[in-house]
């Protein structure tokens, strides 16, 4: 989704898939899926090592998987508002965790306001993307049953 940049934010299909899976499974499986997805993101983004972000995406993708799976015990995973809210919260939480990890590694703290704006735009873009994906999945499912 690197070509879908808007105001230095880009939607994350990785996070959307982690949230969507975490809403439908138990915490152990959600954490494992988030851990694998985050590690893949770190390896592909950091040149086959975790040195690029110090494992920042691994930690920052695993934490929302745990959060969403533990909060989703009473919700319907097929409800667009529930999934959209979970994606928005997970996006902001993921960015918060990522920038905490990066600041512990010495990333300059002067860019904090720019990263907050980027996280807010990314949350909006992720909500719009997951809504479009869920609507498309419903259309495909209706065509299969018709």
30-81 residue pLDDT tens? 999 999 999 888 888 754 444 456 678 888 889 999 988 888 776 667 788 8
Q: What pLDDT is attached to residue 80? A: 87
Sign of CA dihedral 86, 12, 25, 138: positive
| Residue 140: other Cβ atoms inside 10 A | 9
| pLDDT band, residue 12 (cuts 50/70/90) | confident
Q: What pLDDT is attached to residue 48? A: 41
Please state the pTM of the whole predicted model.
Answer: 0.81
Percent of the chain with pLDDT over 70: 81
């Amino acid at each position: 989704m690197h070509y879908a940049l808007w105001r230095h934010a880009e939607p994350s299909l990785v996070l959307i898939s982690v949230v969507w899976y975490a809403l439908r499974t138990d915490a152990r499986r959600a954490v494992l899926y988030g851990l694998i997805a985050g590690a893949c993101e770190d390896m592909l983004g950091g040149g086959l090592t975790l040195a690029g972000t110090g494992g920042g995406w691994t930690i920052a993708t695993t934490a929302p998987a745990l959060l969403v799976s533990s909060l989703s015990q009473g919700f319907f995973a097929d409800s667009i508002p529930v999934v959209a809210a979970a994606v928005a919260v997970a996006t902001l939480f993921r960015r918060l965790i990522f920038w905490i990890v990066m600041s512990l590694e010495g990333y300059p703290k002067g860019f904090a306001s720019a990263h907050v704006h980027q996280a807010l735009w990314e949350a909006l873009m992720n909500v719009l993307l997951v809504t479009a994906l869920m609507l498309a999945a419903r259309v495909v499912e209706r065509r299969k049953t018709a």
